[in-house]
Amino acid sequence: MIDFHSHILPNIDDGSKSQEQSKAIIEEAIEAGFTKIISTSHYLEDYYEVDEANREIMIRKLNEDCKDIELYLGSEIYITDSIVQLLEDKKASTINNSRYVLFELPLNSKPFNAKEVVYKLIEKEYIPIIAHPERYSYVQDDIDFVNELAEMGAFFQANYGSIIGLYGRKAEKTVKKLLKDGLIHFLGSDVHRDNQIYPYMPKIFKKLSKIISEDEIEELTTINPQRVLDNEDIEE
């Protein structure tokens, strides 16, 4: 399995606080059955701004220290009209130097520029992936917003924790509907610290298997993430 969303690089966002904690988190991932992790540290203008070159050094060091798993570079970019420029300037990163871009929206206020940002990315031949839509209050209230962005060409990544209610009942209910409607294309831990999510994976998969088929689980946890790493198209 491939963890599509994580905050494992130390001391650059609200995730891991040390190299040792990063290694502890990764050991938990290995024990949970993951063979690859995509590092998607926050990139938020004027707040979290560690550029690609420095993050490459950090992930190389983690790869050297953790031999039983493969780590890949990406970003979780907070939505901004400057998103294309950040990518072109090698400040924020696509996933594994592919066309795929993971970005997040505000939790509680519907962004007026979401469609414009999706359009800008596609216009420049990037492929937008929106992080954890089930956590956004306006998606919980009106799931059609996800449908509208999907019709434009956006893909979506849900958090494993949402499946068992770690982000609240509304997120749990919303992710279930998104999964059943085929609007989720990737699953990720969104891990920030050890003992947060990986120990719950057996419980999560037990519940997930009651929502979607084993083939669909394989697609969301392994097949689609690998296609992104290989810069291949996702089959819809």
d(CA 145, CA 13): 28
- Annotate 145-185 with three-state secondary structure: HHHHHHHHCCEEEEEHHHHCCCCCHHHHHHHHHHHHCCCCC
Per-residue confidence (pLDDT) for residue 236, from 0 to 100: 67
What's the length of the chain?
236
Model pTM above 0.75 = yes
The candidate with the shortest Cα–Cα distance to 94, out of 106, 78, 77, 82, is 77
Question: What is the average pLDDT value for the chain, to the nearest integer?
Answer: 97
| pLDDT, tens digit, 9 for 90 and up, residues 185-223 | 999 999 999 999 999 999 999 999 999 999 999 999 999
Average pLDDT for 43-68: 95
- Amino acid in position 235: E
Average pLDDT for 153-161: 98
